[in-house]
Each structure stands twice: as structure tokens, then as C-alpha cells.
Amino acid sequence: MVRTPETTIDPRYSSDDARPTPWPDAVAHLRDAELFWVSTVRPDGRPHVTPVVGVWLDDAFYFSSGPEEQKSKNLAASAHCAVTTGCNRWNDGLDLVLHGDAVAVRDRRLLRQVADAHTAKYGSAWAAEVDDDGVFRMHGHEPVVYQVRPAQALGFGKTDGFSHTRWDFTA
């Protein structure tokens, strides 16, 4: 089921004639982006930000992390996170921020869908598979796969002016 967010534009950070970015445009950017940044909070309150590869599939973002990696340790203490992607040019592109909780995926069918989408997107460089026991594997490692279904997303359009779009998802 595709969730339809409530879409608003913040005029404080938008050009006078700006229009909100449609959610389907944001989804297209999420599907096409090659690199994302996941922000978590360490148990002592310090931030932790790291780049990841990931896929947008069925209204959620999926990424993986080794169980001993800092982001996995942080997510075990608090599932709250932010995921960002975009471009680093001032007058071009669309930057996106997803706010939500990262939940470990255990469902074998969903893990296979994520593995297939991951391999289709990144090829052999980040090929993934799921064995008959439901274990997600990538290059001999067994990372935890996380799903982030955004509660809120922000879009910062920078082409032909500036726009600050907010998408709120209802339960």
C-alpha cells in the first residue's frame, strides 16, 4: 500500500513563486540515488553520520549494516534516524531528508526483494542474496538489513529558485 503524504511548502525558505515538490518526484530521486547518509545517535548523545548504499522499495528505504558497526549499535539503543541524499551543488538538484525509525528486517520474502533490488541497482559491486535460511549475505558478510519508513520527509529544491517541501505521513 502506497502512503500519500500531506504536502506543504515552507514559504520562509522558498522563493516567492515556489511550488511544493510532488512526492512522486521525490520518490524518483530516492530510487535513483546511489549514495545516502544515515544519521544516528550514539548512546552518549553524540551524533554519528555515515554513507551507505541503499534501495527505495515499496514506500520504504532499505540499507544494511554489520551488527558490530557503530550505526547498528546506535540503532539498537534508539531506532530514530535520518537518511539524506541529494547533490552538493548550490543552484541545482533536490536534496532529501527522511525522518523515521530503522527497523531490522527479518521476513525472508522481503529480504529477497531487497537483495534483488540491491543487486539490480548496484550490480556485482554490492550484490546481495538471501539463502534458504533467510540470511542476507553480501560479499561473504551477513549484515542486518534495516527498513526506514519515513514519518516525515523534507525536500530542498534548488533548480530555478528554492523550495522547501515537507511531506508528513499519517499512520
Q: Where do the domains of the chain lie, and which CATH numbers do they carry?
A: 6-168 (2.30.110.10)
Question: What is the model's pLDDT at position 132?
Answer: 87
Question: What is the model's pLDDT at position 89?
Answer: 87
Question: What is the model's pLDDT at position 171?
Answer: 53
Question: What is the model's pLDDT at position 77?
Answer: 96
Cell 520527509 found at = 153
Question: What is the model's pLDDT at position 149?
Answer: 97
How far from chain centre, in Å, is Cα 98? Answer: 6
pTM recorded for the entire structure? 0.95
Decide if 48 contacts 71 (C-beta within 8 A): yes
Question: What is the model's pLDDT at position 1?
Answer: 61
Question: What is the model's pLDDT at position 30?
Answer: 98
Question: What is the model's pLDDT at position 80?
Answer: 97
Decide if 25 contacts 71 (C-beta within 8 A): no
Question: What is the model's pLDDT at position 110?
Answer: 97
Distance CA 16, CA 12 (A): 9
- pLDDT digit of tens for each residue in the chain (171 aa)? 678 899 999 999 999 999 999 999 999 999 999 999 999 999 999 999 999 999 999 999 999 999 999 999 999 999 999 999 998 888 889 999 999 999 999 999 999 999 999 999 999 989 999 988 889 999 889 999 999 999 999 999 998 889 999 999 975
Q: Give Cβ neighbours of residue 151 (< 8 Å, ≥ 6 apart).
A: 99, 100, 101, 168, 169
Cell 551524533 found at = 47
Question: What is the model's pLDDT at position 161?
Answer: 87
